[in-house]
Amino acid sequence: MKKILYMIVFLVSVIMLMTHCKNETVTITTQTAETQLLLSNLKQLSNKGYMFGQHDATLYGIGWKGEEERSDIKSVCGDYPAVISFDLGRIEKGALQNLDGVLFKDIRKEIIRHYERGGLVSISWHVDNPLTGGDSWDVSNKNVVESVLPGGANHEKFQGWLQQVANFMNSLQTINNVKVPVIFRPWHEHTGSWFWWGQDLCTTKQYKSLWEMTEESMRKAGVNNVLYAYSPGGDAADYMERYPGDNYIDILGFDTYQFNNDEGAGAFKELFQKNLEFLDKYCQKNNKLYAITEAGYEKVPNPNWWTEVLQESIGDYKPVYVLVWRNAYEQEDNHYFAPFPGQISEDNFITFYKHPRTLFLNDIDNLYQSSL
């Protein structure tokens, strides 16, 4: 009898040990050496100046698409933006191209190329609505976040969607099998209510759980080449309300655009200063980085916008980068945020480019080497 009891205790211990080890391998996936190096290099770089970036910069621009080694920024100032961002919207459904009609294989190629140039890559995710079948902007139902969390009707389905994102992150490998470190910036602009994960569409607890679940799923899928960025769209007053916590976030950002013609510049500057002041204090105290994850003035109708509005709004603060949104190639859309040859802010952009604190690709050393 005693023997049997010992046997049972032994077997239970072995099973517990195995389960424990299994969990360990799952949860203790640390970031790759390149990802850790990138983070420390970014911290040093923010003392030198702020990098300039643009979304989809090398994929298309005004009047062109899919040309190698081209970008509207480069056509204007002769240099690449130091940061390029890309969007994974529709990857969750296994689509071949994203919501802006760009093939994921081209996005992957451009990410690896920009890494090889030594520049920084950021990734956003305008994920479709898993409950209604609509897009990110479909806010017709307020239970979407709840439905993807553990216990929700769409939880399993959404785990599959997260797996698609993880597969893409894991596929970002050079020919030497180095995994390319990227910034991942999901669940952005949640302080507004225009995305299904926005302010009025879920509770604070649900929003935080969404982040926790996302990062946990990435880790379980072996994603170890990602730094996470948080980017509300509002102002500093409600900045921390839904902050997932320092354990989840590497870079604290914000998305702020100028609207309503030139009179909007005052409001833009004010919001910028308020956010930057708050972030500067918080990040110094907590050893974090901050960035302007999205900014811009559509069609840049102010010829001096770059120096008189953007640069002045940033002042002496130390964001690691400022990124403007895309220059859509369909000219008739008039949806662009950076200058291109002939655009009215072109000359002023060159002045902005030459300023010692604005960093373009040639101003930075390779962000993945320890020479910084």
87 touches ligand BMA by CB under 6 A: yes
CB of 323 to ligand BMA, least distance (A): 12
100 touches ligand BMA by CB under 6 A: yes
92 touches ligand BMA by CB under 6 A: no
CB nearer ligand BMA, residue 86 or residue 239: 86
241 and 260 Cβ atoms separated by less than 8 Å: no
CB of 233 to ligand BMA, least distance (A): 11
**Is the sign of the CA dihedral 81, 109, 107, 165 positive or negative?**
negative
Total interface residues for ligand BMA by CB under 6 A: 7
What is the C-alpha to C-alpha distance for residues 9 and 340, in angstroms, rounded to an integer?
A: 72
DSSP string, 311-353: IHHHTT---SEEEE----S-GGG----S--TT-TTHHHHHHHH
90 touches ligand BMA by CB under 6 A: no
Strand ranges (E), 219-344: 226-230, 251-258, 289-297, 321-324
What is the C-alpha to C-alpha distance for residues 92 and 85, in angstroms, rounded to an integer?
A: 18
The closest of 198, 175, 176 to 187, measured between CA atoms, is 198
Residues 6 or more apart from 121 whose CB is under 8 A from it?
Answer: 83, 84, 85, 86, 111, 114, 115, 180, 181, 182, 183
CB nearer ligand BMA, residue 298 or residue 347: 298
CB of 337 to ligand BMA, least distance (A): 9
CB of 89 to ligand BMA, least distance (A): 6
72 touches ligand BMA by CB under 6 A: no
CB nearer ligand BMA, residue 49 or residue 233: 233
CB nearer ligand BMA, residue 271 or residue 283: 271
CB nearer ligand BMA, residue 196 or residue 353: 196
- Could you tell me how far CA 64 lies from the centroid of its own chain? 25
| Three-state secondary structure call for residue 144 | helix
CB of 294 to ligand BMA, least distance (A): 8
CB nearer ligand BMA, residue 42 or residue 183: 183
CB of 301 to ligand BMA, least distance (A): 17
The closest of 177, 174, 40 to 111, measured between CA atoms, is 174
**Is the sign of the CA dihedral 89, 123, 242, 33 positive or negative?**
positive
Residue 295: exposure state from Cβ atoms within 10 A (0-12, 13-18, ≥19): buried
What is the C-alpha to C-alpha distance for residues 107 and 85, in angstroms, rounded to an integer?
A: 10
CB of 336 to ligand BMA, least distance (A): 10
User: Which residue in 289, 326, 343, 364 binds ligand BMA (CB under 6 A)?
Assistant: 326
99 touches ligand BMA by CB under 6 A: yes
CB nearer ligand BMA, residue 125 or residue 239: 125
CB nearer ligand BMA, residue 146 or residue 189: 189
What is the C-alpha to C-alpha distance for residues 214 and 208, in angstroms, rounded to an integer?
A: 10
What is the C-alpha to C-alpha distance for residues 109 and 111, in angstroms, rounded to an integer?
A: 6
- Footprint (CB under 6 A) of ligand BMA, residues 123-162: 126
CB of 114 to ligand BMA, least distance (A): 17
CB of 325 to ligand BMA, least distance (A): 6
CB nearer ligand BMA, residue 100 or residue 241: 100
- Could you tell me how far CA 359 lies from the centroid of its own chain? 19
CB of 117 to ligand BMA, least distance (A): 22
CB nearer ligand BMA, residue 89 or residue 152: 89
| Contact residues: ligand BMA, CB under 6 A | 87, 99-100, 126, 325-326, 335
